[in-house]
Copies of this chain bind each other. A is one copy, B any other.
Amino acid sequence: MAKNKRSGFMTTFDQLQKGIRKNARSNDINSYLRSLTRDAISYLANNASIVDLTSKVTGKEYFSYSIDGTKSRAVNKLLYRDMEMAEIFLELLQSDEIRGNISSDDITSACYTITMSLACYIDITNKGDRQTPGTFFEYLITYMLTKHFKSDPSTRVRVDIGDDKVSLTMDLILSVDDDKTKYHIAVKNSTRERASEIWAHQRILDKAFGDNTYTGLFIGLCETKLDHKINEVTEICVPDQWRAYQQFLSALHTIYYVDVPRAYKNLNQKPPYIVVKQIGDFYYDVPQE
């Protein structure tokens, strides 16, 4: 790809970054997301070849984009769609008309397509950069949630420890309906060994402000791992650890994934009942402000 094309892409990404900090639910954010998705999808379509991967996950198939031997992360074939789907979703998102006008499956596919096209673009054009795809997913989710709740995002809470007021950093804190409802929302591309932090933060909020003051959600992208040597895709899940966290640390209300890991799907069927759903369900579960 021409250098100036990539530099244009990163300029838009910088604008998105600054925009999120300034006003996370402005229409500018929508245009940046649209522009980045369009550029990433068209770059991949015109320049990359498709490599089929071996899936070790029952019911899921994956491919990887590849240019000159550099491979992207694994992409779930069933979830990944096209620019048209992304456009429809972003359009409805802008006009606050998601619910009833697009199915949960299509919302989920659109989120997956937007996030993964950019991630694959970065994997290939700036090998080793894991931060840009990670923050991009956070920006998309922050835009979606702040629009939905008509609330500005915060990442800080102040708690009393001894005689001190201590400021703690969380992923996302949203105060809704004149502070009547509060959400603590962890947002991560994947959890790996960081899952305990989500339940630990929720417990801090429960203890510091009283149970049920903050509703705890976690929104994740996926838990896939691609072994680049043998082109094999697995899902890294620790359901027993999660059950222990939900039982002994705190109770998360719902966990939404864009690509729901198989091993977490049925955690709602026995104690301590962890509800794991696809991201599109969020719009049908939680009434809009």
B194–A193 touching, CB < 8 Å: yes
Contact of A249 with B162 in the complex, beta carbons under 8 Å? no
A196 CB–B CB distance under 8 Å = yes
Q: Could you tell me the distance between the alpha carbons of A245 and B166 in the complex, rounded to whole angstroms? A: 12
* Contact indicator A240/B194 (Cβ below 8 Å): no
Q: Are A271 and B196 in contact (CB under 8 A)?
A: no
A270 within 8 A of B: yes
Q: How far is the CB of A131 from chain B (nearest CB, A)?
A: 13
Copies of this protein chain in the complex: 2
Out of B161, B199, B207, B241, name the residue touching A271 (CB < 8 Å). Answer: B161
What interface size band does chain A fall in? 20 to 34
CA distance A203 to B164 in the complex (A): 23
A65 to B169, CA, bound (A): 36
Residues of chain A from 150 to 206 with CB closer than 8 A to chain B in the complex: 159, 161-164, 166-169, 193-194, 196-197, 199-201, 203-204
In the complex with contacts A161-B271, A162-B271, A244-B197 CB distance below 8 A: no
A210 to chain B, nearest CB (A): 12
A248 within 8 Å of B by Cβ? Answer: yes
Chain A contact residues, majority secondary structure:
helix
Whether, in the assembled complex, A45 has its beta carbon less than 8 Å from a beta carbon of chain B, the answer is no
Neighbouring B residues of A135 by C-beta, 8 Å: none
Residues of A within 8 A of B (CB): 159, 161-164, 166-169, 193-194, 196-197, 199-201, 203-204, 207-208, 240-241, 243-245, 247-249, 270-272
Give me 17 other A-B pairs in contact (C-beta within 8 A), A168-B240, A197-B197 excluded: A159-B244, A161-B271, A161-B272, A162-B270, A162-B271, A163-B271, A164-B243, A166-B244, A167-B240, A169-B241, A193-B194, A193-B197, A196-B200, A197-B200, A200-B245, A204-B244, A204-B249
13 CB contacts below 8 A, A to B, read: A159-B244, A161-B240, A161-B271, A162-B270, A166-B244, A168-B240, A193-B194, A194-B194, A196-B200, A197-B197, A203-B203, A203-B248, A207-B248
